[in-house]
């Protein structure tokens, strides 16, 4: 019906989106970071993907108004946010070679469902479904906890990418100032699944079990039964059982009982949950006779569920990442913030598409027209915009964004006062 | 600088020495030196530090860095080269200690100039400076270490017992090898995680609220990390201002050569000048010459001529083994006139350049004989040339034939060729030495043709036991690990330095 999204309609929908719905005010408040550092917003690189896959980099703006005008003029299909540079990005060619440098950027993470293809039964590639979406939930829980409790980062924004993954924007000042090697170290700390196509066993836990692993394990244990045993049914068929058993060290498998026999024992046990219990029992039994501590069952849980992040995205200070509230051209879905308080209820399929919200807006305007005409006149563009998105399904996601920005603003207020006092700037 | 507790009087530094400039035996080299120094001090300091760093490199290869032998040998080198390493509390040595620390400071900054230019040089320099720093920090006791850190604004907050108790389980499980009692015993520090990236990266440390909880022994790693970061940044900055420095003609030659410098003996001062007669040269060439010189001599005898590269390489070698200028002139003249050169022409052209290489003409530089490194790396031979290193520059087949013609047995030849294949030219030549002198182990680490000659003469003239201790260092640019014994044929290092003739540090 008319709510169906069609990529071909983007050129018609985007103008409406950028005029009436894109949250310029909060967006600017966020990226300006309270104006504490001079030219922070002005030296920020944006890149646009335009119609027909035209890609333009080094876009920058002096203020919110310029940003608005440009977006409304270009109507980009996709917006990426890059780093804050030493100079206006638009001048990168005129500046003396070597001196144009990326100085700061949020610490970002990108979790992509395709990285789990080897452990997903239900979908592959760009597809996602409610069964495998749990992987994202698990990833967010584990990573967010660590970023908050281990690293002390307070301002973390999780965003649905619009198709098959999630992004995290860590906006603390300390995070923005991290060097490339620091970012790589953080990403490394958070990684546990290692190995590409060639590797079968991608997780090997050993003593000492770091507190981070212990905490992550708690999350995995919470979700594992429903996600892996029931939904993904990893112990359901011979084939999938084989895959799981391939992850156990040989000592556990073969000691006293050749592989086949083990599998037959499995098939005798009826439910997936019971099979898992059986496997765990075997692992713990065998543990006694081995010299080194082996965590076979934990290894399996990690390999099937633990977050897989692309360290390259996190490492580069100048890496460009899709902006929140950018539209995904293939699905039409808006990249919306995720409310962590309602994480388990988040449904990627309920995220509004641009065609939906434009429809909703049109409908709302029709209804309002007669009633509010006079009031609408002379109203600030901004205010109108706020009322506008509130009439659409974007409302609840905007709220998350607004709260996020407000929380940051509270931390800057003190900064700005301090600074202006120092400079005697009134 | 230091208050002595034992006696009641305050001890002062003498002369121009500024109190408080060098309060510790080591430093982060944060500020460059601002005084004026003479060119010769500039050069001496640089060469000495280079020797120190090369020792650090070699010891690091041969010994475990925490072993006693490493410590003993390294400390010996510190003392020999007058570099600081330990907190000296003897007042009498206040001035000396200051001087050592000043040398340490200045020489570091000079070497930055030479080693900032390429990625490889920087990496090498940073590695050795880090090892040097690590050792000096490691021997500091707790209080001086604490003072040093405080002085350099590195505040590592140690955690209270209460906090340690609360976090006991976590601390036990985040540091490998830490049991409950060990955690109780040791001090833990809280540092921002950005300062402990190596530990964070490997998840080898407990993190909370952005702070890493580090046991005392790991603090060294943190400090080192800091040192490396600072030095790396500094080198990048230095590289940018280098063109200006290099345009100073006084510094240019030294800086260019430092990064390629051979720092062993340069054989420029010969104690055996005049003790060699021209008749001895032919037998020397088959018995005591390294292959490169044997080859050059043979070519000279056969062709009655050598081209420029060969004349330089062989001519300087001859000077190194003890030929006087007069002997050299006679030697070359008598050979050349057998060929196509008449006496007149010789006197007008070739004689001049021989005198030049003895420092008797032109800018009067007394050129030093080429080291193996220089021969292998620079001025490769082309058609018609006989200079260079045969192990490096000869076709292996031809090399094989040559060795066969010298009656070296097949087994030996294949050993030599294997070493050549692995590009271990110094070792190949050492093997050649062993085969021609019938010894199992040449007993020295070869890096200079004149050294080969000296060692050979020593064996042939008796009076030296074959060393049983194997010299492990098989890298090029090696400082001979056995300093020349006090025999008549051995030149003295220090004399060479002070002569000023070593301006080129052995390389051209």
Instruction: Spell out the alpha helix ranges (H) of B15-67.
Output: 39-62
The nearest CA of chain A is from the CA of B312 a distance in Å of: 44
Nearest CB neighbour to A208, from listed B173, B193, B200: B173
Is residue A255 exposed (0-12), middle (13-18) or buried (19+ Cβ within 10 Å)?
A: middle
Contact A152 B210 (CB under 8 A): yes
Contact state of B173 with A150 under an 8 Å Cβ cutoff: no
Preferred mutation among A99, A177, A208 to probe B, highest tally of B CBs within 10 A: A208
Which residues of chain B have a CB within 8 Å of the CB of A208?
172-176, 178
Quote the minimal CA–CA distance from B176 to chain A in Å.
6
Would you call B485 helix, strand, or coil by DSSP? coil
The continuous run of DSSP H or E covering A158 comes out as strand A156-160
Residue B162 distance to chain A (closest CA, Å)? 19
- Is A360 within 8 Å of A387 (Cβ atoms)? no
Rg for chain A (alpha carbons), in Å? 25
Check residues B243 and A262 and name the one with the higher pLDDT.
B243
What are the tens digits of pLDDT across the range B23-47?
888 989 989 998 888 888 888 899 8
pLDDT at A377 over 60: no
Q: Select from B174, B193, B201 the Cβ nearest to the Cβ of A208.
A: B174
Residue A3, pLDDT score: 61
Question: By three-state DSSP, how is residue A165 classified?
Answer: strand
Across the interface, whether the CB atoms of B208 and A185 are under 8 A apart is answered: no
Two tokens, residue B205: 């440390």
In this prediction, residues A178-194 reach a mean pLDDT of: 93
Chain B environment of A210 (Cβ under 8 Å): 173-174, 203, 206
Please, which pLDDT band fits residue B473 given cuts at 50, 70 and 90?
A: very low
Residues B480/B451, Cβ–Cβ less than 8 Å = yes
What is the C-alpha separation between B431 and B418, in angstroms, rounded?
11
pLDDT of residue A161: 96
Q: Looking up tokens 């309602």, which residue turns up?
A: A342
Task: Provide the shortest C-alpha distance from residue A210 to chain B (in Å).
Answer: 5
* Cα A68–Cα A69–Cα A70 angle in degrees, nearest 5: 95
Q: What percent of chain B stands above pLDDT 90?
A: 30
Predicted confidence (pLDDT) at residue B283 exceeds the cutoff of 90: yes
Active site residue A150: no
Helix (H/G/I), strand (E/B), else coil: B396: helix
* pLDDT at residue number A148: 98
Instruction: Confirm or deny that B507 is annotated as ligand binding.
Output: no
State the pLDDT at residue B471: 34
Q: In whole angstroms, give the CA distance from residue A70 to residue A83.
A: 19
Contact A161, B197 (CB under 8 A): no
**How far, in Å, CA of B394 to CA of B417, rounded?**
11
Going B57 to B58 to B59 to B64, the CA torsion angle's sign is: positive
Minimum-distance CB partner of A178 among B170, B194, B202: B194
Q: Is there a contact between B194 and A214 if contact means CB atoms under 8 Å apart?
A: no
Is residue A253 helix, strand or coil? helix
Rounded to whole angstroms, the maximal C-alpha distance in chain A is 85
CA distance B183 to chain A (A): 14
Residue A298 has pLDDT above 70, yes or no: yes
| More confident of the two residues B153 and B327 | B327
A221 noted as active-site residue = no
> How close B459 comes to chain A (CA, Å)?
56
Task: Count CA within 13 A, CB hemisphere, residue A319.
Answer: 21
Shortest Cα–Cα distance, A170 to chain B (Å):
13
Contacts of A186 in chain B (CB under 8 A): 200
Asked if B203's CB is within 8 angstroms of A189's CB, the reply is yes
Chain A residues within 8 A of B173 when measuring between CB atoms: 208-211, 214
CB atoms within 10 A of CB A406: 11
Establish whether A45 is a catalytic residue.
Answer: yes
Cβ <8 Å between B201 and A184: yes
Sign of the alpha-carbon dihedral angle for B352, B357, B363, B366: negative
- Do residues B212 and B156 make contact, with C-beta atoms less than 8 angstroms apart? no
Tell me the average pLDDT across A233-245. Answer: 85
For chain A, positions 202-261, list CB contacts with chain B under 8 A: 208-214
Highest average pLDDT, of A147-161, A228-242, B119-133, B471-485, comes from A147-161
Q: In whole angstroms, what is the distance from residue B351 CA to residue B357 CA?
A: 10
Residue contact B200–A186, C-beta within 8 A: yes
B171 neighbourhood in chain A, CB within 8 Å:
none
Q: Could you count the other beta carbons within 10 Å of the beta carbon of residue B443?
A: 21
For residue B35, what are its two tokens? 């005084």
Whole-angstrom distance, CA of residue B272 vs CA of residue A284: 79
Tell me the C-alpha to C-alpha distance, in Å, between residue B333 and each of A320, B47, B295, B306, B351.
74, 37, 19, 12, 8
* Rounded Cα gap, residues A402 and A414, in angstroms: 19
Q: Give the count of beta carbons closer than 10 Å to the beta carbon of residue B274.
A: 11
B91 pLDDT tier (thresholds 50, 70, 90)? low
Higher pLDDT, B274 or B181: B181
B201 and A178 in contact by Cβ < 8 A?
A: no
Q: Does A292 touch chain B (CB under 8 A)?
A: no
Is B372 assigned a ligand-binding role in the annotation? yes
CATH of B2-149+224-259, picked from 3.30.565.10, 1.20.930.80, 1.10.287.70, 3.20.20.70, is 1.20.930.80
Q: What is the pLDDT of residues B426-464, one digit of tens each?
A: 889 999 999 999 998 887 778 789 999 999 998 888 755
pLDDT: which is higher, B181 or A335: A335
Assembly ipTM: 0.88
Residue A325 has pLDDT above 70, yes or no: yes
pLDDT of residue B186: 78
Distance CA B114, CA B256 (A): 7
Task: Give which of A143, A147, A150 to mutate to test B binding, by max B Cβ within 10 Å.
Answer: A150
At how many degrees (to 10) do helices A354-376 and A381-390 cross?
130
CA nearest neighbour of B291 among B313, B307, B269: B313
Which of B173, B178, B236 would you mutate first to test chain A, the one with the most A CBs within 10 A? B173
Taking an 8 Å cut-off on Cβ atoms, the answer to whether A150 and B203 are in contact is no
Residue A240 has pLDDT above 60, yes or no: yes
CB contact under 8 A, A211 and B174: yes
* Position A35 pLDDT exceeds 60: yes
Between the ranges A247-256, A355-364, B468-477, where is the mean pLDDT highest? A355-364
Handedness of CA B133, B136, B140, B143 (dihedral sign): negative
- Res B477: pLDDT: 38
C-alpha angle A286/A291/A294, rounded to 5°? Answer: 55
Chain B CB within 8 Å of residue A184 CB: yes
Q: What is the pLDDT of residue B24?
A: 87
DSSP secondary structure string for all residues of A113-139: GGGGGGG-SS--TT---HHHHHHHHHH
Residue A423, both tokens:
């400079």
The reply to whether residue A174 touches residue B201, judged by beta carbons under 8 angstroms, is no
Sign of the Cα torsion A10, A11, A12, A18 reads positive
Interchain CB contact of A173 with B (< 8 Å): no
Q: Is the predicted pLDDT of residue B16 greater than 80, yes or no? A: no
Chain B residue numbers with beta carbons less than 8 Å from the beta carbon of A152 are 208-211
φ and ψ at residue B97, rounded to 5 degrees: -60, -45
Residue with the two structure tokens 């040339």: B385
Q: How far is B201 from chain A (nearest CA, A)?
A: 4
List the beta bridge partners of residue A156: A170
Task: Bin B362: left if φ > 0, else alpha if -120 < ψ < 50, else beta.
Answer: left
Per annotation, catalytic residue among A68, A104, A106, A112:
A112
% of chain A exceeding 70 in pLDDT:
89
Half-sphere exposure of A237 (CA within 13 A, CB side): 4
Q: Which residue has the higher pLDDT, B37 or B6?
A: B37
Can you give the pLDDT at residue B266?
A: 61
Task: For residues A375-382, give the mean pLDDT.
Answer: 60
Tell me if A151 and B202 make a contact (CB, 8 A cut-off). Answer: no
Confidence check: pLDDT of B235 > 50: yes
Q: For the segment B349-388, what is each residue's pLDDT rounded down to a tens digit?
A: 888 888 888 888 776 666 788 888 778 877 778 878 899 9
Q: Is the pLDDT of residue B488 over 50?
A: no
Give me A380's structure tokens: 């600030």
Model pLDDT for residues A102-116, shown as the tens digit of each residue = 999 999 999 999 999
Measured between beta carbons, which residues in chain A are less than 8 angstroms from residue B178?
Answer: 208
pLDDT of B508 over the 50 cut: no
The predicted pLDDT at position B364 comes to 63
| Average pLDDT for chain B | 80
Which chain B residues have any C-beta within 8 angstroms of a chain A C-beta?
169-170, 172-176, 178, 193-194, 197-198, 200-203, 206-211
Query: Is the CB of residue B381 less than 8 Å from the CB of residue B388?
Result: yes
Q: How confident is the model at residue B264 (pLDDT cuts 50, 70, 90)?
A: low
B442 marked among binding-site residues:
no
- The number of C-alpha atoms within 13 Å of A391 and in the hemisphere containing its C-beta is 19
pLDDT in tens, A162-174: 999 999 999 999 9
Specify the pLDDT at position B366. 64
Select which of A110, A115, A144, A360 is catalytic: A110
Spatial separation of the C-alpha atoms in residues B424 and B475, rounded to whole Å: 8
Give A-chain residues touching B176 at CB under 8 angstroms: 208
Which residue of chain B is at minimal alpha-carbon distance from A154? B209
**Are B201 and A149 inside 8 Å of each other by CB?**
no
CB A205 within 8 A of CB A194: no
pLDDT tens column, A259-295: 565 667 777 777 888 889 888 888 887 777 677 777 8
Query: Would you kindly state where each structural domain of chain B is located, as residue ranges?
Result: 2-149+224-259, 153-221, 269-460
Mean pLDDT of chain A: 88
Q: Is the pLDDT of residue A49 over 50?
A: yes
Q: What angle do CA B18, B19, B20 make, to 5 degrees?
A: 115
CA–CA separation, A318 and A106 (whole Å): 10
- What are the tens digits of pLDDT across the range B55-64? 888 787 777 7
Beta carbons of A44 and A89 less than 8 angstroms apart: yes
Q: Which backbone phi and psi does A149 adopt, to 5 degrees?
A: -85, -40
């Amino acid at each position: 019906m008319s709510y169906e999204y069609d990529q071909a309609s983007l050129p018609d929908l985007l103008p409406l989106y950028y005029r009436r719905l894109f949250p310029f005010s909060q967006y600017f408040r966020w990226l300006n970071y309270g104006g504490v550092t001079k030219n922070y917003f002005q030296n920020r690189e944006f890149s646009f993907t335009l119609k027909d896959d035209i890609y333009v980099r080094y876009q920058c703006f002096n203020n919110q108004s310029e940003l608005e005008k440009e977006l409304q003029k270009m109507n980009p299909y996709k917006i990426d946010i890059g780093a804050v540079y030493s100079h206006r990005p638009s001048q990168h060619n005129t500046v003396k070679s070597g001196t144009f440098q990326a100085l700061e950027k949020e610490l970002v993470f990108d979790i992509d469902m395709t990285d789990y293809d080897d452990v997903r039964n239900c979908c592959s590639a760009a597809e996602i479904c409610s069964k495998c979406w749990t992987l994202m939930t698990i990833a967010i829980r584990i990573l967010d906890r660590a970023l908050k409790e281990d690293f002390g980062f307070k301002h973390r924004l999780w965003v649905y990418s619009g198709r098959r993954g999630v992004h995290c924007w860590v906006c603390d000042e300390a995070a923005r100032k991290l060097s490339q090697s620091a970012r790589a170290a953080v990403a490394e700390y958070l990684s546990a699944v290692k190995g590409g196509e060639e590797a079968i066993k991608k997780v090997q836990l050993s003593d000492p079990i770091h507190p981070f692993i212990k905490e992550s394990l708690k999350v995995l244990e919470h979700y594992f039964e429903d996600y892996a045993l029931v939904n993904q049914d990893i112990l359901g068929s011979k084939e999938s059982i084989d895959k799981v058993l391939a992850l156990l060290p040989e000592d556990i498998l073969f000691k006293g009982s050749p592989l086949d026999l083990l599998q037959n024992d499995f098939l005798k046990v009826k439910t997936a949950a019971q099979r898992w219990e059986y496997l765990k029992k075997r692992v713990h039994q065998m543990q006694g006779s081995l010299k080194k501590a082996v965590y076979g069952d934990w290894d399996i849980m990690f390999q099937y569920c633990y977050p897989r992040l692309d360290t390259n995205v996190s490492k580069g200070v100048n890496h460009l990442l899709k902006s929140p509230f950018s539209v995904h051209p293939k699905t039409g879905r808006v990249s919306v913030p995720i409310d962590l308080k309602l994480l388990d209820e988040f449904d990627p399929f309920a995220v509004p598409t641009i065609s939906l919200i434009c429809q909703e807006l049109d409908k709302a305007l029709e209804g309002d027209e007669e009633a509010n005409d006079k009031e609408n006149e002379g109203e600030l563009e901004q205010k109108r915009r706020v009322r506008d998105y509130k009439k659409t399904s974007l409302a609840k996601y905007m709220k998350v964004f607004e709260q996020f920005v407000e929380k940051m603003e509270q931390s800057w207020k003190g900064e700005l006062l301090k600074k202006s006092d120092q400079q005697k700037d009134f | 600088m230091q208050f002595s507790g034992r006696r009641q009087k305050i001890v002062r530094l003498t002369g121009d020495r500024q109190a408080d400039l060098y309060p510790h035996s080591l430093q982060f080299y944060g500020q460059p030196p601002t005084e004026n120094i003479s060119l010769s001090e500039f050069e001496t300091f640089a060469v000495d530090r280079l020797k120190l760093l090369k020792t650090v490199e070699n010891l690091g290869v041969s010994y475990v860095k925490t072993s006693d032998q490493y410590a003993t040998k390294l400390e010996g080198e510190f003392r020999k080269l007058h570099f600081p390493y330990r907190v000296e509390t003897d007042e009498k040595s206040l001035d000396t200690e200051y001087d050592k620390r000043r040398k340490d400071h200045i020489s570091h900054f000079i070497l930055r100039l030479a080693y900032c230019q390429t990625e490889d040089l920087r990496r090498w320099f940073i590695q050795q400076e880090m090892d040097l720093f690590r050792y000096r920090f490691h021997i500091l006791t707790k209080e001086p270490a604490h003072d040093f850190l405080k002085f350099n604004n590195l505040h590592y907050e140690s955690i209270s017992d209460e906090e340690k108790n609360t976090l006991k389980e976590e601390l036990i499980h985040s540091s490998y090898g830490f049991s409950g009692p060990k955690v109780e015993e040791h001090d833990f520090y809280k540092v921002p995680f950005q300062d402990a990236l190596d530990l964070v990266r490997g998840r080898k440390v407990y993190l909370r609220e952005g702070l890493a909880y580090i046991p005392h022994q790991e603090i060294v790693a943190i400090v080192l990390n800091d040192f490396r970061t600072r030095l790396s940044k500094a080198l990048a900055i230095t590289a940018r201002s280098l063109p200006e420095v290099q345009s100073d003609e006084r510094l240019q030659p030294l800086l260019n050569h430092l990064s390629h410098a051979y720092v062993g003996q340069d054989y420029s001062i010969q104690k055996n000048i005049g003790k060699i007669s021209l008749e001895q040269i032919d037998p020397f060439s088959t018995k005591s010459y390294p292959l490169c010189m044997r080859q050059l001599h043979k070519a000279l005898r056969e062709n009655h001529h050598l081209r420029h590269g060969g004349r330089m390489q062989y001519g300087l070698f001859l000077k190194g083994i003890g030929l006087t200028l007069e002997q050299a002139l006679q030697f070359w003249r008598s050979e050349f006139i057998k060929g196509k050169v008449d006496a007149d022409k010789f006197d007008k052209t070739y004689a001049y350049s021989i005198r030049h290489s003895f420092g008797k003409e032109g800018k009067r530089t007394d050129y030093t004989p080429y080291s193996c490194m220089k021969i292998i790396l620079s001025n490769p031979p082309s058609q018609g040339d006989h200079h260079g290193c045969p192990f490096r520059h000869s076709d292996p087949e031809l090399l094989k034939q040559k060795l066969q013609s010298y009656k070296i047995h097949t087994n030996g030849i294949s050993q030599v060729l294997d070493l050549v294949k692995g590009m271990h030219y110094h070792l190949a030549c050492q093997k050649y030495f062993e085969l021609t002198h019938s010894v199992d182990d040449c007993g020295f680490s070869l890096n200079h043709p004149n050294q080969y000659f000296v060692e050979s003469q020593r064996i042939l003239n008796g009076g030296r036991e074959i060393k049983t201790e194997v010299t492990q260092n098989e890298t090029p640019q090696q400082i001979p690990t056995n300093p020349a014994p006090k025999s008549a044929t051995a030149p003295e290092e220090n004399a060479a330095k002070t002569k000023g003739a070593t301006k080129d540090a052995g390389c051209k």
